[in-house]
Structure 1
Amino acid sequence: MTGAGGHQVTIALSDDHTLFRQGLRELLSTDPGFEIIGEARTGHEAVDLVRQHRPDVLLLDVEMPGPGAKAVISQVATSSPETAVIILTMHNEPAIVRGLLESGAAAYLMKNIGREELISAVRSVSRSRDNVLLSVPRGTLESLERQDRQRTLLSARELQVLELVAAAMSNAQVAARLCISEGTVKRHLTNIYGKLGAVSRVDAIKKAVRAKLIRNID
């Protein structure tokens, strides 16, 4: 089977474990529709490989020497925007998953997936980038869905209020910054507490930071 347009799907492999890369090469090479164009051991090598060959797909590990996965995805998007990046990793932390998907990864897969699932994912992203593919534990998916619900629940104004509160501003200071009354700030905070299930300003900030609704301000 060939990729979009009838050509072979060209694939670059990027992982700092030689044995794992070799296993991936052997596994994917069994499909006549795939062509492995090269391997990389570091983030720098991955970017150079993509820039030189412009493959349809880059299989990328999260932890490698050199630039991190986010930086690699960004550089790939600049030098070869047609290359779809598939994250293939053992990390399933919701924050990492969300961060890499938001950076532009076309798929996020765990290394314990089966051969057919991997081949299907490679074919899918090589044809279309419209859908993002996920193969993560149920707990990770539920956490991402919970974060999405919380993001939807908080209005833009409530997020503004919470960010200023997290910056250690008083209600009066928040009101002055946003040109609203102090009573309106208190009402926003009451709504925020209810939506996040928080009992105080500190609790709301902690929950919002964990859910990636606001930045962690030290």
Structure 2
Amino acid sequence: MADDHTLFREGVIEILTAAQGIDVTGEAHSGEDACEKAARLRPDVVILDVEMPGQGVRETIPRLRQVSPHSRVVVLTMHDDVVLARELLALGASAYLVKGSTRHELVSAIHSVVVDRGPGHVILSVSQQGLSRVEQGPGDILSDREREVLALTAEALSNSQIANRLNIAEGTVKRHLRNVYRKLGAVSRLDAVNKAAAASLIPVPRVKDD
């Protein structure tokens, strides 16, 4: 079980420990820690959060598959986003569940990925709202202000600088960025900028000459 929030991690471990047929062999607080422990313990399943300090999830999943090919990766995240789910499943995750899932859904997903090891077998659990975002497309769900904030983020401005430029509160900037992350399935400022630029929502950031 890999999650940087101790209370949440301990809660999930308690659920798994009480479940029939599941033994918890280790816990980790970062992507690097998860890879190190997976290489040593070779678990059947690694439960992985998307946002942890250090190494990003897009690096962690392929690394886990490399150091412990036998292990299946179950992503458990707050990001209710089909686009992100598809990306992580393509990288090698076997299941993608939002943190609003029930304990029964989590336990069932773990049993399922262990029993059915076929390469085409994946588990996706998102809300109807998350599915509707795919039908809309990112261009339909980002507001003008969110695009404005993201465009300034692409210029490497801090939240404080963006707030001053737009004459809004710094807390409002943070709220807009949180909404952008959720809508684009992004896990960082850079990830949000890259995804928005790829979708032509903002101009492609210019690389400054030295």
> TM-score higher than 0.5 here?
yes
CA distance in 2, matches of 1:57, 1:142: 30
Gaps of 5+ in 1: 1-12, 148-205
Matches within 5 A, 1:13-24: 13-24=1-12
Hey, what does 1:35 align to over in structure 2? Answer: 23
Q: Contact 2:26–2:37 (CA<8 Å) still a contact in 1?
A: yes
For the pair 1:137 / 2:137, whether they are aligned, the reply is no
Alpha-carbon RMSD:
2.4
Q: Contact 1:57–1:83 (CA<8 Å) still a contact in 2?
A: yes
Q: Which has the higher strand share?
A: 1
Shift of 1:217: 5.7
Question: Structure 2 vs 1, CA of residues 117 and 91 (structure 1 numbering), >3 Å: closer, same or farther?
Answer: same
Q: Contact 1:28–1:119 (CA<8 Å) still a contact in 2?
A: yes
2:17 counterpart letter in structure 1: S
Shift of 1:145: 6.6
Shift of 1:93: 3.0
Paired residue total: 144
CA distance in 2, matches of 1:207, 1:67: 22
Hey, what does 1:174 align to over in structure 2? Answer: none
Which of 25, 46, 49 is equivalent to 1:61?
49
2:78 counterpart letter in structure 1: M
Q: Contact 2:85–2:124 (CA<8 Å) still a contact in 1?
A: no
Deviations 1:148-177 (A, max 9, x none): xxxxxxxxxxxxxxxxxxxxxxxxxxxxxx
1:57 counterpart letter in structure 2: V
Q: Contact 1:98–1:144 (CA<8 Å) still a contact in 2?
A: no
CA distance in 2, matches of 1:37, 1:70: 23
CA distance in 2, matches of 1:133, 1:210: 27
Shift of 1:82: 1.2
For the pair 1:104 / 2:92, whether they are aligned, the reply is yes
For the pair 1:127 / 2:115, whether they are aligned, the reply is yes
Matches within 5 A, 1:52-91: 52-91=40-79
SS in 2 for 1:65: coil
CA distance in 2, matches of 1:208, 1:25: 39
Shift of 1:141: 2.5
CA distance in 2, matches of 1:76, 1:125: 15
Shift of 1:140: 2.2
Larger Rg: 1
CA distance in 2, matches of 1:94, 1:134: 8
Hey, what does 1:47 align to over in structure 2? Answer: 35
Identity %: 42
Question: Structure 2 vs 1, CA of residues 207 and 62 (structure 1 numbering), >3 Å: closer, same or farther?
Answer: closer
Q: Contact 2:44–2:70 (CA<8 Å) still a contact in 1?
A: yes
Shift of 1:98: 2.2
Gaps of 5+ in 2: 138-194, 206-210
Question: Structure 2 vs 1, CA of residues 146 and 102 (structure 1 numbering), >3 Å: closer, same or farther?
Answer: farther
Q: Contact 2:46–2:72 (CA<8 Å) still a contact in 1?
A: yes
CA distance in 1, matches of 2:26, 2:58: 21
